[in-house]
Structure 1
């Protein structure tokens, strides 16, 4: 016995072997239809079997969710019942809605309503139950992801607070003309060494410590050369041929040039340090972009500071040259230089005024930089 569906109404018709290609009248719609090639009768389950089987399977799946899940936030027997009832009802509702919609649509194509409803209901119920199981499996990962985001946010806030606090301290030191202590720049204890915030904090603190070390290194190096005493009256009086004076001036020039180059090279090095720190792409891009935004003004200020430092050295050299030139027209008494001629006094004072003017310009640059830093900190809060 073979079976096929009527091409007009979808009713299942049964024919004997050898009837292929013949015309027959559908017992349901009374329309003539052609018997197709052999189609062996399929053993189909009763429509109720689809509904019962899918509902039972969904019930078992929802039971697992009720026992092991914690989406409802309840506990004990009451919580289990609530989770089971809610989940099971959701599956059934989705199945019924899916079945009704599908059956309604397919009746327009002359498909039997109950057959389509039963199968669509089964599919809808099982899909809903499967999604619920998937939600149960993904819930721990989602909670871990949420906890990770909270931790990341906390670490970012810790990093920014640390940077703002140190920037404020640096601004205050700059205004007061104090030398920075490299030991002050350490990453906060609360930052993990494996997160972007922790890695960036280590890079920035190491960088700032190196900047501070450059400042202290320069002043210490200059002090070791004896350059700071080049115009000391007693030393000038004892340096009859001014040979030592010329040596000190050359050492001073060399120290200024060397540390200027070192600091400028180090300032340009921060993006490379960030690149090499193993930081995530977005954090890395943001950090480098932030550096480039403020770097132009910082580099300009640094250049002006070093230009003034070199100018001071040259004014000192000019004054030392004048002292050598006028060696017979002055003497040292009680630690002071006494000139014989008023013109020499004026020349000496005028040159010293230029040195003080450079120092005042440097002080203003430091204060302006400190003000910009405080303004930036206020904007970042």
Structure 2
């Protein structure tokens, strides 16, 4: 088949393909971007594969960076854009179920595409917009099926992360997994324990943020993949709660919201230790923890001025969207109104600081000064004190006089 319209991302990169072809080599757009072009989905990364070896690419282009030359990848800098160009290659046995022990550069496109994970990711697109489909990927796209290229067991044994990628593609595309491919995935789930947590997190995070996340998560549960993921062993019932408690049309607004709801469904009390097992950042852990805390607060009472000040309106609005999805009461307008009424949104906004109070009233650093600053902050949050120098100093003088 030939694409009726070549996406602008490919059009911009056509001169790269032309330069390589003019030098006597083959060059194609490959991978997921070709699949997305066929499906008329947004394109993210433009990957180029070529019969030219890395040193040959470096002779064709004047500005290059050796980003992964040992695996055949050269970064080409052209017209303020960056393009990763990878030589056709075959791979030796995988030593850790993730990386090949050795790669061999080849001149054959078919040999290169044979090592791809799924048929819908094994397309190539040439400079005339013709789709090259050597493994039945177009038929699988039409039937909305994920099928491994070649021997499914071999593909997952080579790279166990492909199990998570398959579930993620299922969630992002809404496809089903072909029977033999699914069986091979299930047979190799134990290999996920040998894959880095960081890589698994990326795939699970993308799954949760995908439009068909419930479909991907349901397959993750039914195929027992969850048993080999950090902190999720023996959590089938809780994951099913997560699947059943939100309507099918619900999409998470952020990764933090998705993971917060996962933790809520798991009824996990130790948020940070759980997320540390997933090697997440401190900022991510703090935001997720705040979302879970606000969710618990809302089960007991309405949101207060102090809550909006402490957690911020965006965190609380994400909790309200979860409540709305679950059919619980919600009130976005109230949150916006409270936020608008707040005198300050951060203590750094207070117009008088500790150093000024020390100078004006001969105060020493310590608990007394700390308590005074906390009182100023809490009075402002409560709406009892204006954020002006006169009002603050008058309040301080009254406090000091009352001691």
Q: Normalising to structure 1: TM-score of the pair?
A: 0.20
Greater strand fraction, Structure 1 or Structure 2: 2
Q: Normalising to structure 2: TM-score of the pair?
A: 0.19
Larger radius of gyration: 1
